[in-house]
Amino acid sequence: MMRSGAAKPTGSRDRDLNERRTGAKRRDAGTAGRVFRGFKGIAAAVMIACIFTLPPGLWSAGPKPFEITRNIFEEKAPDFVMKDLSDQKFRLSDYRGKQPVLIIFSTTWCSFCIGEIPHFKSLYATYAKQGLEIVNIDIQESREKVSRFAAKYKLPYRTLLDEEGTVSSVYNIPGVPTMILVDKNGMIICRQCRTVDTLLESMIKKKGSFVKKLNIGQSIDRSSLKTVA
């Protein structure tokens, strides 16, 4: 018979030690899991707070993972008048009933905007001659800074100045770059427009062009452009 206080056999001590180690590991794992879940909850709360408290003057850089088309949402494009870098006025409603307009909201400091410039230039080269008007709206930056940027990257399309952020606020722009395609009826047919090339090709296939083809030798007067019947 084993006396009180006598040492346990080696096998029993090993089993006790293993059980204690296993229990400790389980407790540690449970604690880590609770801490991780708590961290995820705090991170989610912080992200939501940041989204809903983002000041109007701060713009996120980068395309958003969504696109709104007329199949989901139909909206009349708010009219606006702004000056371009040549101090010429641009009025969106002047194009209503005549031709579609692709609006690009951007800034000079946005790396994603700079990365998209080759695509914007390609759109201009392909579709401007067919009647699509493309304008770039720079948000809350000075004329001097934007002029240097446009010259550096040789932007072929008009750049408008939204120095106070008024138009971008009216259009509820979530970040830059953002493209908005307005059809000839003045209706927004896509926001973000990740598939703008497909949409434009579809519009051309239906009409043959955005505007009536000019006779050979006829000069282009953009104010007289008409849509294809």
One domain, residues 80 and 169:
yes
* Domain shared by 209 and 128, yes or no: yes
Q: Which residue has the tokens 């690009």?
A: 104
Q: Which structural domain range is residue 192 located in?
A: 60-224
Whether residues 49 and 158 fall in one domain? no
Same domain, 89 and 161: yes
Q: Which residues contact 225 (CB under 8 A, 6 or more apart)?
A: 98, 99, 131, 211, 212
Residue 181's pLDDT is 95
**Is 127 within the bounds of a domain?**
yes
Coil, strand or helix: which one is 97?
coil
pTM above 0.85, yes or no: no
User: What is the residue whose two structure tokens read 């007329």?
Assistant: 70
Q: Do 98 and 44 share a domain, yes or no?
A: no
Note the Cα 86 to chain centre separation in Å: 27
| Same-domain status, 105 and 47 | no
Task: Quote the number of domains for the chain.
Answer: 2
Same structural domain for residues 14 and 70? no
Give the Cα separation of 166 and 160 in Å (integer). 12
Closest CA to 120 of 202, 197, 222: 197
Indicate whether 198 belongs to any domain: yes
- CA dist 58 and 118 (Å) reads 25
Same domain, 23 and 68: no
**Residue type for position 203:** M
pLDDT digits (tens, 9 = 90+) for 24-66: 555 555 555 554 455 455 544 444 443 333 334 444 444 443 3
Q: Give the C-alpha separation, 162 to 212, whole Å.
A: 32
- Does residue 18 carry a pLDDT above 80? no
